[in-house]
Chain A
Amino acid sequence: NAGVTQTPKFQVLKTGQSMTLQCAQDMNHEYMSWYRQDPGMGLRLIHYSVGAGITDQGEVPNGYNVSRSTTEDFPLRLLSAAPSQTSVYFCASSYFLPQGGRQETQYFGPGTRLLVL
């Protein structure tokens, strides 16, 4: 299994440009999430999905759109990039086994480093 993959690894955008950050997982996980990581702020949740066709907002959703048409893919769209969106973006996936108790494991991708000028 490749796990969680993200593309591109690096991206430079100009203010106002749009782009899509790709995320895919091959573990058949139900849950997928997008986080951004900024210095001194840990990771903050942007959007998450509990299954194909179901998405919801996290802590910092403004300026970002998501959709989940398949279990495997969860793209993050920036419609009009702003310098405040300069960050490292991580996609994660996980599943929950009730019989296993609360031992859910999140698997993170390697990240996409985005610079908005």
Chain B
Amino acid sequence: TQLLEQSPQFLSIQEGENLTVYCNSSSVFSSLQWYRQEPGEGPVLLVTVVTGGEVKKLKRLTFQFGDARKDSSLHITAAQPGDTGLYLCAGVETAGGTSYGKLTFGQGTILTVHP
């Protein structure tokens, strides 16, 4: 099983600050997904990055897939209290691109944005 190391594990910042969450592996992934999870709920998909070097933007969130498809980052600009939550990266290993329901998750980053 491939491993995904996510950092930092905890992040506590003030409203308006920028932050970056990292997801690293020694193995290549077919694609990588980022999820956000609220307390008491299941993870919700934010984005999937597929191509090495790909950058996707979702409002104030920027997601990047490393050139070698071994790492990814999530950057949030001007964080707001509504961004508070658990952020998870997850890798798809299979060569065909479909996960067949198998995802490898990082440990997660708990983000708290203070007003």
Known: A108-B42, A110-B42. A42 touches B105 (CB 8 A): yes
Number of contacting residues on B, CB 8 A?
A: 30
Docked CA distance A94–B40 (Å): 21
A110 touches B30 (CB 8 A): no
A50 touches B43 (CB 8 A): no
Q: For residue B43, which residues in chain A have a CB less than 8 angstroms away from its CB?
A: 43, 90, 106, 108
Q: For residue B80, which residues in chain A have a CB less than 8 angstroms away from its CB?
A: none
Q: List 30 A-B contacts (CB under 8 A).
A: A4-B42, A31-B100, A33-B102, A35-B105, A40-B108, A41-B107, A42-B4, A42-B105, A42-B106, A43-B43, A45-B104, A48-B100, A48-B101, A49-B101, A92-B42, A96-B99, A96-B100, A102-B30, A102-B31, A102-B48, A102-B92, A103-B48, A103-B50, A104-B97, A104-B99, A105-B45, A106-B90, A106-B101, A110-B42, A111-B41
